[in-house]
């Protein structure tokens, strides 16, 4: 069985927590795109863990975790993440972590270029996480990066790095006027942070093809949401990778396989990190209250997130692009402080009401059309079934389901592993 877990919105929908929960039923968890530019927060009996690069299944000893060829890996960050988890008592070995030999290495100069470009842009900055993600994906498609498998062939790697550094300095030194990057320092970096992972590097295509043939249950875990996808998101305020479910088999190394299920993680309200159009945005006190109630501060960067009411237009589009077969609704408990629940049901663009998700300039001009549903006004974080839920909360769930056109299978009412229930 092949299942993808993906975000239906701008990211931070609580995917980490749902993967942690659902991974119990799977043998293998795979990350198929992105790097350490986003964070998953998982709370379990051993504590609170923030995962940027590692698949969420790493917190379960019996689960095998795969970092696929679609990923970009900052080795220094990976080393830090692995060390922190080990300090928290988590076992990480080549038996439970497999890194694709085709995954791209995100080098320190990618991070540097990200920072240099954001600084050059000044007021027009993209709100990049400055982790080097766009520069490294750009280089990947220029076919000028190192991959994890290159660590196995040190002499060839040294030679290739020399060429890459010469080429990079055309931009770093001659373009941005920054001190040139040095291949010696980069070799040292690769030695310190890359070589310890040599035993983890393998052909994930071979591993996953076999696992699939043996009937093992495989879960694909996305980072960021549909609206951050490079092709289908709010370009150019997107990530540089493909966040949608259709890319999961490719980014994992098994393009020949088809997904059986796509579970979309959808938050009961909206949040967005960084710049770009966010039509349903709240401001002032309304925003502060929701941000505080939901603890909406970036897991990777600590930045306060922009927040708003549930956005039907954006979510319906996200659910469709992901090809969701069912949904997990998260953070419903956060809305318990509201007398009436705001829902953005349509956009107004140039005086016209639109219900499809617009692109580019149209999207930037869109204004929200808000409607209100009755609030439930009580703590629901202990609810274990639909029957235990207040009617107003169930009405909200049913409303969302029909608005986005996909059944809600799971409802999460708190960050702890058991604070959820199933609707079917």
Nearest-approach distance from CB 414 to ligand GDP, in angstroms:
5
Nearest-approach distance from CB 344 to ligand GDP, in angstroms:
20
d(CA 68, CA 59): 18
Per-residue DSSP letter, 277? -
Q: Which is nearer to ligand GDP, 152 or 384 (CB)?
A: 384
d(CA 108, CA 173): 15
Active site residue 114: no
d(CA 167, CA 374): 60
d(CA 294, CA 278): 18
To 5 degrees, how large is the angle CA 284–CA 236–CA 254?
115
Q: Which residues pair with 267 in a beta bridge?
A: 330
Catalytic residue among 40, 74, 101, 114: 40
Where on the chain is the footprint of ligand GDP (CB under 6 A)?
Answer: 7, 12-17, 38-41, 43, 295, 299, 330-331, 333-334, 412-415
Active site residue 333: no
Nearest-approach distance from CB 20 to ligand GDP, in angstroms:
9
> In whole angstroms, what separates CA 218 from the centre of its chain?
18
237: which 2 tokens? 């305020």
Q: Which is nearer to ligand GDP, 318 or 415 (CB)?
A: 415
Q: Which residues pair with 265 in a beta bridge?
A: 7, 328
Phi, psi at 82, each rounded to 5°: -60, -45
Q: Which is nearer to ligand GDP, 48 or 144 (CB)?
A: 48
Q: Which is nearer to ligand GDP, 180 or 295 (CB)?
A: 295
Nearest-approach distance from CB 40 to ligand GDP, in angstroms:
4
Pair 412, 294: CB distance under 8 Å: no
Query: At which residue do the structure tokens 């290495």 appear?
Result: 105
Catalytic residue positions, numbered = 12, 40
């Amino acid at each position: 069985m092949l299942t993808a877990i993906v975000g239906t919105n701008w990211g931070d929908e609580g995917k980490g927590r749902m993967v942690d929960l659902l991974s119990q039923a799977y043998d293998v968890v795979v990350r198929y795109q992105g790097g350490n530019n986003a964070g998953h927060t998982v709370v379990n009996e051993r504590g609170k863990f923030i995962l940027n690069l590692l698949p969420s299944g790493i917190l379960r000893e019996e689960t095998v975790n795969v970092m696929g060829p679609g990923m970009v890996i900052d080795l220094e960050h990976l080393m830090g993440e692995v060390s922190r988890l080990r300090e928290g008592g988590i076992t990480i070995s080549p038996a439970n972590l497999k890194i694709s030999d085709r995954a791209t290495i995100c080098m320190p100069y990618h991070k540097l270029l990200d920072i240099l470009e954001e600084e050059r842009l000044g007021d027009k900055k993209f709100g990049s996480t400055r982790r080097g993600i766009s520069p490294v994906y750009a280089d990947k498609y220029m076919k000028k990066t190192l991959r994890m498998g290159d660590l196995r062939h040190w002499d060839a790697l040294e030679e290739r790095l020399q060429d890459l550094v010469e080429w990079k300095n055309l931009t770093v030194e001659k373009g941005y006027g920054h001190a040139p990057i040095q291949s010696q320092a980069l070799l040292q970096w690769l030695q310190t942070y890359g070589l310890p992972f040599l035993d983890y590097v393998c052909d994930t295509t071979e591993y996953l093809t076999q696992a699939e043939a043996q009937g093992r249950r495989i879960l694909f875990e996305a980072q960021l949401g549909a609206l951050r996808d490079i092709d289908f998101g709010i370009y150019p305020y997107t990530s540089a990778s493909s966040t949608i479910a259709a890319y999961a088999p490719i980014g994992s190394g098994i393009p020949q396989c088809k997904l059986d299920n796509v579970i979309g993680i959808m938050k009961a309200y909206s949040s967005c990190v960084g710049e770009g159009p966010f039509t349903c945005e709240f401001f002032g006190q309304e925003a502060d209250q929701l941000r505080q109630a939901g603890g909406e501060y970036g897991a990777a960067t600590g930045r306060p997130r922009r927040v708003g009411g549930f956005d039907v237009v954006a979510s319906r589009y996200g659910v469709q692009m992901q090809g969701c077969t069912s949904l997990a609704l998260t953070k419903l408990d956060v809305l318990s402080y509201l007398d009436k629940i705001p829902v953005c049901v349509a956009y107004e663009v140039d005086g016209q009401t639109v219900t499809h998700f617009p692109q580019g300039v149209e999207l930037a001009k869109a204004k929200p059309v808000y409607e209100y549903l009755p609030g439930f006004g009580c703590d629901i974080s202990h609810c274990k079934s639909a029957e235990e839920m207040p009617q107003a909360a169930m009405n909200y769930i049913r409303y969302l389901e029909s608005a986005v056109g996909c059944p809600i299978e799971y409802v999460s009412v708190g960050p702890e592993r058991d604070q959820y229930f199933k609707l079917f």
